[in-house]
Every structure is written in C-alpha cells, then in structure tokens.
Chains A and B, each alone.
Chain A
C-alpha cells in the first residue's frame, strides 16, 4: 500500500515564485527521498534526507523532515518553467522504497 501522501495534488504558480510540497507518511523510515518526473519520462532523484536529519539543501531545493509528525516538505525557490513536472516523495524502510501519490507542479511563464 502507498505510504506517502502528498499535498497538494496539483500546484500552479507563476515563474519566480516559490513552490512548497508536503509529504506525510505512516511508519518509521530510514530515509525519505524526493524525485521529479517529467511527463512520460523516468525519475530524477533530487535529494535524500536521513531520519536523523531535519533539513537539507541542494541548489534551489530545500527539504525538511519532521519524524515526530511523520512529514516532509520540499521547497523549490525562484521557480522556473523547467521545474514543471510531477514530484514524488518516497520513504525508504528496511527494504522497500514506497512512493507517495505525487504533486503535479505547473510553472506559468
């Protein structure tokens, strides 16, 4: 069963604005990962945050993890048209990587 639930399901913003996506999960995890998927394409790994980390940055991406609330957020700053894609969180347990439902992000020029 899917473990991650993402919010919102769809997000449409203007270029230059920041985009925030949230992910909640149900059980304990080793790490949480965020991926991007352009329409009809494969996955691109964005960032991995371990269960003992609270925040991580990579370029314009900022990920937070709150294990007490079992939630994570992905912030994309200064969005660009090329950021238009679906974004998935995925939780890594002992063996499996389980994906959330995803957020469909549209950046309007």
Chain B
C-alpha cells in the first residue's frame, strides 16, 4: 500500500521557536495533503487542506499565520509551527491523497511536538 512518512517523529522545542514538520508520500504523487492535530485522549481535528502548488485552506479557528503550510511538490508538504507555545504541544498527523483513489487518504505516523 501507499506509504506516507513524517519527520521528525518527536520534537521538543523552547517556547517562541519555530518547528517544521515534513510529510512525504513515498511511492505516489499526493495531489492533496491534509494536516490534523490530536490532543491527548481526543480525536483528530483537521487543521488544513493543501493542494500542490496552491495555498492551503485552513479550517475555522486555525491561524494560518501561526501554522504555515507549504505543498511545494507532489510528494512533500511541510507544516511550520511558528512562535510555538506550550498550548501548541500536540500530536500532528498528516495524510495524503493521490489522484487515482480520491476516497482514500494515507496517514503518516504522526509527530509528537512538545513545547517547553
């Protein structure tokens, strides 16, 4: 099956710094990528949808200037958490969808962000 990787798997940073998380589709071209956030013992909440070569569409309540998303190629999307604060500590999961099976998203393993 299709594989999606995320890097890093865990990151700890100081408050006020920026953190970049990469999401890669390893064996297919991802025309659309999604970023989710999951707080402990809660469900996944969609943050934004990004299509290759265009600006991301953010969900209501998600600050686009704080969570910068770049989908510069068909295999890579990045999420940058700018000026991170402790409340941004969460599990960030990306998923990717190819052009063939539009009803299937392939999920990455997630990135655990801890902001001190």
B-binding residues in A (CB < 8 A): 2, 30-31, 35, 40-43, 45, 48, 50, 88, 92, 95-102, 104
- Selected A-B contacts with CB under 8 Å, 10 pairs: A30-B103, A31-B103, A42-B110, A50-B103, A96-B46, A97-B34, A98-B46, A99-B44, A100-B43, A102-B43
Q: Which 9 A-B pairs rank lowest in CB-CB distance, beginning with the nearest?
A: A42-B109, A43-B107, A99-B44, A42-B110, A99-B43, A101-B43, A102-B43, A31-B103, A42-B107
Closest residue of chain B to A9 (Cβ to Cβ) is B41
| B112 interface residue (CB < 8 Å to A) | yes
Residue numbers in B under 8 Å from A100 (CB-CB): 43
Interface of chain B: mostly helix, strand, loop or mixed: strand
0/1 string, B66-94, CB within 8 A of A gives 1 = 00000000000000000000000001010
In the complex, what residues of A have CB within 8 A of residue B95's CB? Answer: 97
Q: Establish whether residues A95 and B44, one from each chain, have CB atoms under 8 Å apart when the complex forms.
A: no
CA distance A31 to B104 in the complex (A): 10
